[in-house]
Chains A and B, each alone.
Chain A
């Protein structure tokens, strides 16, 4: 009988503590499948952030390090420069990457560090209980914007792929989502491409994944998925923001 789906050896058997309907579990699986299928599982070193995915070092079945809030790209830089043959990824949320860690994000991208960042954008601080994030949409309620985020009080949400695309350093930037099976397949393809470019020593790669947080959004899981589609995607358009010219042509030819 043909096996069409199985648990990836890229993840440990530790049960995940993520809330029902959260996107982290799916993205963990995609990242783990990507490095496993590329034959890199035994050469991968991952960086876990502060936030809901602080426990990522329990789940990814590879060498892992957990570091201070926002500093994943600096930690990954230190590892990669000392172990250039490793596949190094930093897994980060929106508060971690776009707020407290903005300097590390921008500068590792500008240096074109040969690392991959997996960026979960769910527009909220999850672990601390639902505070406003740098990606919280205008009008969206959080525990620190209880009447909804306003431009007057809080300014605008930050579009990270668009921001980083203005730099010369990044070689591959793509925004995807995990709101339906077809999107999950696309997200995995993006993560795999990013890892592939790192293996080819091309430089900085980042995949932004729009994700849902039913718990802190105060929504049922299906309604949360609907919000990703109806509210997040118009403001954070999916797509490739940067890719190497030669592989763009190669991908086009293949398809």
Chain B
């Protein structure tokens, strides 16, 4: 804490996880997240942890399934196609209530796509991702400093609610270098009490079972309702967002992660010209900060959603605003990155009535 560091996003993410108590990492190479396993491979053993380069993403997530069942703070990271491969395992973790932590440094898709930054995995991240009815906590950083500091928040929520928690980043956040400070002292997991559910050998007491099945439909239904109650509690307690200059805004930009960072530029440029632009940036994209949009829509009548995907994030904004205001969308999928000037230009068009709703392409 206090020390100023200059780090690459992926390395800050890895270091942040270790300082937050991560002691087991399994991963598989994929661009643009390779610096995470590379950093972990030397740094984690130094911290007394285990690094394994798995034979596949599928194997890596299942190593986490086993490791986190022992109460260990675990991590895996990957990029889009690799995260798709992990989804069955993430679904098992969600059902068995194992507090894994993972990061998706999103790249362009679908298919092999490319290795450029993208936000195309929003639906996959915020709607569970794998099979069955479940959610995971999703934090969306916008800077290298947040890449470094969010893993601690993810672990805290993951262990408090026994739920997988993830960081939804992208190639820019993973690859760029920025100054940062850690906002917490390194955490030694040896000081934690082992959770009751953690496997360790029965030790002569009652044995423990970690599983994700109940073949009796009425019992599995109850299991689902139990998970749902937890999701409702998380939605009530853990929503985070950042609202900038919304008090007098005629138009509010809505964006997360890198897109929000770009919208900050547009806001600054626009304000210099006297335009009353505000910005709402969800920090947790699940649970989604619905209320702030609902409240704002009583007064603000125009919203511009900016996302590096084809209209995924906009659906959550629409659900929140529920027809109470006009929603415009600027979309740049699969590796294209909007600029602040570009966003400002569209904002001006909307304010002057020239822009069609929900249709803005470069």
Contact = CB atoms under 8 A, between A and B. Distances in A.
Interface in B176-213: 199-204, 207-213
Contacts of A78: 24, 26, 62-70, 74
Nearest to A71: B62
B199 A74 contact: no
A161 interface: no
Contacts of A83: 70, 199-201
Size bracket of the A interface? 20 to 34
A81 interface: yes
Contacts of A79: 66-67, 69-70, 199
B345 interface: no
A63 B24 contact: no
B66 A63 contact: no
Interface in B205-259: 207-213
Contacts of A213: none
Interface stretch (B12-20, B53-61, B163-171, B289-297): B53-61
A57 interface: yes
Nearest to B203: A42
6 closest residue pairs by CB, A with B: A78-B66, A78-B67, A75-B66, A74-B62, A71-B62, A66-B211
Interface stretch (A43-51, A152-160, A245-253): A43-51
A146 interface: no
Contact of B210 (A65, A68, A87, A107): A65
Contact of A71 (B59, B201, B208): B59
Contacts of B149: none
Contacts of B58: 71, 74, 103
Nearest to A100: B58
Interface of B: 23-24, 26, 50, 52, 54-56, 58-60, 62-70, 72, 74, 88-89, 92, 96, 199-204, 207-213
Given A63-B200, A65-B65, A67-B92, 16 more contacts: A41-B202, A44-B201, A57-B211, A63-B201, A64-B199, A64-B210, A71-B59, A74-B54, A74-B59, A78-B62, A78-B64, A78-B74, A79-B199, A83-B199, A83-B200, A104-B62
Among A44, A67, A103, A104, max chain B CB count under 10 A is at: A67
B201 A86 contact: yes
B62 A62 contact: no
Given A83-B70, A103-B55, A103-B56, A67 B65 contact: yes
B300 to A, nearest CB: 46
A44 to B, nearest CB: 6
B13 to A, nearest CB: 21
A77 interface: yes
A162 B145 CA distance: 52
A81 B67 contact: yes
A120 interface: no
Nearest to B23: A82
A76 interface: yes
Interface in A27-76: 41-45, 47-48, 54, 57, 61-68, 71, 74-76
